[in-house]
Amino acid sequence: MILSDREIRIALKRGLLRIVPEPMAEAWSSTALDLRLAPALRRWNLAPDKPAIGVEYCFRPAHPEFNFSQISQQFTEEIIIPSAGYNLEPNQFILGWTLESIRIPNESRLATRVEGKSSLARLGLGIHVTAPTIHTGFGEANPDGISLQLEIWNVGPLPIELQQEMRICQLIFEEVHGTPDRGYQGQFQEQGPGAV
């Protein structure tokens, strides 16, 4: 069951959900809550340590030693969105974060999906490529929660200007039937602009 704006507000009041900073009035719609873009982005940059001729890089996520944080640290560079904005070029893929931090206690019996906004999608801007679920127990390690890392790409014909604090995505909250045996314990429990 998808929660209405009224039910999301009740969950916030009861401590079943935490969002810091508190959402502004214009962030709410009938069944979703908009989140804003934090200033820090990570741009992929494979050029500095190019392998020898004839050797190509390949991500190997099924390898037992695969570690996304290490790969991200090695192959991305931080960009702070300037006041004039950052132009995301066609076919460019970057990582970003929400300005808001989220915490969903395991006992809340809530989960959420992060989705793009249709107004941006119509320009070719994709947000959170294929893994929209924010599991029950997400952000429990921090009382204020943690920012959501976003996969952002431009499949449109023109550059798209990203601005700090622009509304970039929306959360759709859902009720979880029953309390999970354990909350989210995945590798992205400690994500955020500083955590890479």
CATH of the domain at 74: 2.70.40.10
Closest C-alpha to 33, from 100, 94, 81, 95: 100
Let me know if residue 95 belongs to a domain. yes
Name the CA radius of gyration of the chain, rounded: 18
Q: What is the DSSP letter of 24?
A: P
Q: What is the DSSP letter of 106?
A: G
Tens of pLDDT, residues 80-112? 999 999 999 999 999 999 999 999 998 899 999
| pLDDT band with cut points at 50, 70 and 90 for residue 184 | very low
Q: Which of 7, 107, 115, 151 is catalytic?
A: 151
Is the confidence at residue 186, as pLDDT, over 90?
no
Catalytic (active site) residue 151: yes
User: Which structural domain, as residue segments, surrounds residue 125?
Assistant: 5-48+67-175
Cβ(42)–Cβ(77) below 8 Å:
yes
Instruction: Kindly tell me the sign of the dihedral angle through the C-alpha atoms of 88, 90, 95, 96.
Output: positive
Place of tokens 């947000």: 127
Let me know if residue 9 belongs to a domain. yes
| Number of domains comprising the chain | 1
pTM for the model stands at: 0.85
